[in-house]
Amino acid sequence: MKTLEDYLQLHANDDPDKTAVITPCGKITYTQLHKEVCKKAETFAATRGKPVAFRNTQDISFLTTYMGIHMAGGIAVPLEKDLPEDRRRAIETGLTDCEIPADVADILFTTGTTGKAKGVMISHQAILADAENLIDAHGYDSRLTFVICGPLNHIGSLSKIFPVIMCGASLYLLEGMKDLNAFFNAFDYPCTKMATFLVPASIRILITLYADRLKTYARKIDFIETGAAPITHQDMKTLSRLLPHSRLYNTYASTETGIISTYNFQDGRYIEGCLGFPMRHSRFQITSKGTIACSGATLTSGYANDPELTALTLRDHTFFTADYGRIDDEGRLHIAGREDDIINTGGMKVSPVEVESAALTFPTVTDCVCISAPHPIIGNALKLLVVMTDGADLDPKLLASHLRRTLENFKVPFYYEKVSSIRRTYNGKVDRKYYKVKLDNS
């Protein structure tokens, strides 16, 4: 098997009536999906070796388009559903004369929260290696129904299609988490076991507001995977209590590295920042400056139209990330935040993630972000923007006192401000670029 589409054909032949995809509007078998993909491939016959940009529709038509482009020998370039038309045209123009390696299947554009959006090239080999990593580490099999509620034009959710198709399981597609009734209705689907990928922000909503409803599915949820942003010790502990029979994974992955490592925090320790052991096709190491470097079959083939950045980050079959990390005595990876997110205050370097995690243990703090703010003497000081529970007032002295119980003094913010919400990206990450730009313009 050389492509994901080869596995689709295999299951269409061997188990033709097996349900491949479910949506709130209907479902389709593997035979039907394969026929629709073949039809789409005919419409893309002239695209062999060429990138084809299309918008995410979060439905069966997305899958038929995505896999149809592959089957025709084209390169799939899924874009944001609401991407402005001028931005779409700019992406298409930029890819027109781009030199693309022969095995590339996808070009995924990052959100650009830490800089301008970049086109990350992913090979067919990387797709299959990601699939095998997830199957081996998380235990996918043909009986599973996997609920996808994140955008399919990003690696977090797109990568879950890979193991599902490879092992002949079923996908349940939803349009986000805005309709939580639809989310829970998906788990009423008649099958023996289900799983999903949820960003930490979504997990916090579920365990805070819908805990009783979530635990009614405790016997049916085989596993939940989280990633993309930090999950706190307390949230891990609470989710484990609500779903005592489920495996609960915190995974390290990115568009550039693929799916690298995972940690089942249903272990009674709920280790914050732990990302576990390397998966089957992946390896990691810590560089001399303390950042994470990854190697293996899941890595990107480089950045489209950016050989300089490719050369800077991808060397000797190793991708050098901007994530600070460490490897513990047991060989597990731990993350400590991104290199470009570190705040320098009074000559000391502080990871905002560590401050935010400590603040989220305060009973009336529901969300927060730690940012840099001007200070008349030391230049930069830490500022904490907090979202409080309904009716709760912010008492800076009380919150600072709470933080000093777990943080060194230089990590305790100097300024505090109550806000109505924290700006986040599609995948639940704090939109740090937004806050940096806001600071620069203040």
Lowest pLDDT segment from 244-253, 274-283, 397-406, 420-429: 420-429
Over 70: is that where the pLDDT of 142 sits? yes
Residue that wins the pLDDT comparison between 375 and 73: 73
441 pLDDT band (50/70/90 cuts)?
low
The whole-number average pLDDT for the span 93-113 is 87
Distance CA 44, CA 51 (A): 11
pLDDT digits 0-9 by tens, 216-230: 999 999 999 999 888
Q: Measured between alpha carbons, how far is 221 from 247 in angstroms, rounded to an integer?
A: 8
Interatomic CA distance for residues 224 and 318, integer angstroms = 29
Query: Cβ–Cβ contacts within 10 Å for residue 110, how many?
Result: 18
> Sorting pLDDT into bands at 50, 70 and 90, what band is 101?
very high
More confident residue, 161 or 374: 161
For CA atoms 260, 266, 269, 271, the dihedral sign is positive
Q: What percentage of residues in the chain have a pLDDT greater than 70?
A: 97
Going through 208-298 in order, the beta strands assigned E by DSSP cover: 221-226, 247-254, 258-264, 274-278, 282-286, 291-296
Rounded Cα–Cα distance for residues 253 and 298 (Å): 10
Model pLDDT for residues 308-331, shown as the tens digit of each residue: 999 999 999 999 999 999 999 999
3-state secondary structure at position 344: strand
Secondary structure element (H or E) that encloses residue 203, with its range: helix 200-209
User: Looking at residues 182-208, what average pLDDT do you find?
Assistant: 94
pLDDT of residue 119: 95
pLDDT in tens, 410-431: 899 999 999 999 998 766 788 8
* Antiparallel, parallel or unpaired: β 19-23 and 26-29: antiparallel
What is the model's pTM? 0.85
User: Please, are residues 257 and 245 in contact by the beta-carbon 8 Å criterion?
Assistant: no
Q: Is the dihedral of CA 357, 358, 359, 362 positive or negative?
A: positive
pLDDT tens per residue, range 76-86: 999 998 888 88
pLDDT score at 427: 67
Long-range contacts of 83-91 (CB under 8 A, 24+ apart): 83/55, 88/53, 88/55, 91/53, 91/119
Handedness of CA 48, 78, 105, 319 (dihedral sign): positive
Q: Shortest CA distance to 173 belongs to which of 147, 194, 196?
A: 147
Could you tell me what percent of the chain has a pLDDT over 90? 79
